Structure 1
């Protein structure tokens, strides 16, 4: 008798590609499994104008409804981009049962057709509008290109690309418009998933723009007491990626960051050792704190905690509090 597994996901093209990847890996790893993909149109997908803060950040906009369905027993599991999952709060009754092998965590610059990278570099961003909805990317963009104008820009990866190419203006929360954008900052992994990587004009190094915590990682969440599902998901769990996720998310937990906090973090494993770098910026990109550490790969949370405590010792809490919504 086949094992049936219902996995919830957003309806966006990128989310479906990620969930189909999970289904393929499960089919290859588990005999007689029948994976049903259940599509959700989340609050963040329906409202592509408001700032995500209005919906409780990415967690409220993209994750909450699918999580509720898992808790209610309507789904066995849920697919999330790990960077969309809040890391500064408890998730009662749920656990990450698997993380797929990490894809690229890099951020990239995409330019509107007719604009060259050389032209952008010569201007140092002056006179250009860069679109992003991520406060971290906006902060780094202002740090790298002090004269650039960063504008609010939302939508799925393919939607944002269409708006860029068609010189569409972006509606602003509360009314009015901004744009059109001349360039976008996006995740390389997202563009690769929707087959638009050919549009990448420049890939930022981690020294230039540290990724979001969990960027490039696909996570599968399930009920903490659903041992059958946890056992199934363990068959596709990538241990190295899972350890990196634990280290990076520990930084968010210790810092008590929120959806309006420009916090970044990236870890990697080399043999038995793990390295982690994390940073906190203000939204203007003027204040910048960074910390790095190294430790045993099998103790990721301890490394994450040590790096986060170093950030706090350098004044990170003041930056985070100033960015907290009033």
Structure 2
């Protein structure tokens, strides 16, 4: 089985975990990992919106290889997969058990968490490329300056430690950053969990839809591959995947929309919380609902529709700008 993945350290670690699980579940299946250098990997300066969001930057090229038959499957971080558009001919054949979905704060050496809290961010620069993280950061630390900061997880931490300036889209520089907001699971994957100064609770910073879930995508008509992938599918993660992505579908959210969503399962019940923010974190709408865990899309649809009823469409429209 040929599985496509990005070349980054984290993506390779995730794909190697898929291969390990496949070999354990189906020893007769030979797994070959095919590495791709996507446009999002080669262009470390532009905002992802310029490439069609995370989907265009990190997903599109590998998806095309699956559609053409060059690959049997592709590894994606679920949070990078567009949820507001149809993907004809493709299906998520498996999801791995969910890693910690929360966000974390990484500080530059010499910067203390108490200094940041005491100053409420005044005079501090926090780096992120995610509009959701930036919006929540502005709510938590009203006086911070959020700066554009891109790169692979390990690369970003190195830039932070060295006090490097970050190139801006269109020219110029910003920085250096005093802190970064990153996914806890990503830091764990690249062996940098010890750099976490603070774990944001979901109440402080609701995770991105699908954050912490590794998805394996394949052709919908390739039943042999789907059968093999089903052997490593984690049912709970897949239910969460379906519920959270349904919210994106209902909201028609795009890559510049600060939308968050996270579900938990307790026995036969699922609880789903989703939120929509504007980019400065001022406008904020959040909805929580519970329902049967085996009907995730219905729950996601109900949450999405309630967000629309409360005015989410207007917030999303304000963030829908041209590249």
Q: TM-score normalised by the shorter chain: which range applies?
A: over 0.9
Q: Within 5 Å, which residues of 2 pair with 1:286-301?
A: 286-301=282-297
Task: Provide the rounded CA distance (Å) in 2 between the counterparts of 1:207 and 1:31.
Answer: 42
Q: Please state whether the residue corresponding to 1:33 is helix, strand or coil.
A: coil
The residue number in structure 2 matching 1:21 is 17
The residue number in structure 1 matching 2:105 is 109
Q: Which runs of 4+ in 1 moved over 3 A?
A: none
The residue number in structure 1 matching 2:46 is 50
How far residue 32 of structure 1 moved from its aligned partner, in angstroms, is 1.0
CA RMSD of superposed structures (Å):
0.5
The residue number in structure 2 matching 1:246 is 242
How far residue 133 of structure 1 moved from its aligned partner, in angstroms, is 0.1
The residue number in structure 1 matching 2:82 is 86
Of the three residues 123, 141, 147, the one matched with 1:145 is 141
Task: Provide the rounded CA distance (Å) in 2 between the counterparts of 1:123 and 1:199.
Answer: 21
Is the counterpart of residue 31 in structure 1 residue 27 in structure 2?
yes
How far residue 31 of structure 1 moved from its aligned partner, in angstroms, is 2.6
Task: Provide the rounded CA distance (Å) in 2 between the counterparts of 1:227 and 1:304.
Answer: 27
Task: Provide the rounded CA distance (Å) in 2 between the counterparts of 1:122 and 1:255.
Answer: 37
Task: Provide the rounded CA distance (Å) in 2 between the counterparts of 1:268 and 1:97.
Answer: 21
The residue number in structure 2 matching 1:232 is 228
The residue number in structure 1 matching 2:205 is 209
Is the counterpart of residue 136 in structure 1 residue 132 in structure 2?
yes
The residue number in structure 1 matching 2:176 is 180
Task: Provide the rounded CA distance (Å) in 2 between the counterparts of 1:214 and 1:267.
Answer: 9
The residue number in structure 1 matching 2:118 is 122
The residue number in structure 1 matching 2:66 is 70
Q: Please state whether the residue corresponding to 1:34 is helix, strand or coil.
A: coil
Q: Please state whether the residue corresponding to 2:147 is helix, strand or coil.
A: strand
Of the three residues 265, 283, 290, the one matched with 2:261 is 265
CA displacement, residues 283-317 of structure 1 (integer Å, 9 cap, x when unaligned):
00000000010000100000000000110000000
Task: Provide the rounded CA distance (Å) in 2 between the counterparts of 1:166 and 1:106.
Answer: 26
Q: Please state whether the residue corresponding to 1:298 is helix, strand or coil.
A: coil
Is the counterpart of residue 283 in structure 1 residue 279 in structure 2?
yes
Paired residues in the alignment total 322
CA displacement, residues 204-242 of structure 1 (integer Å, 9 cap, x when unaligned):
110010000000000000000000000000000001110
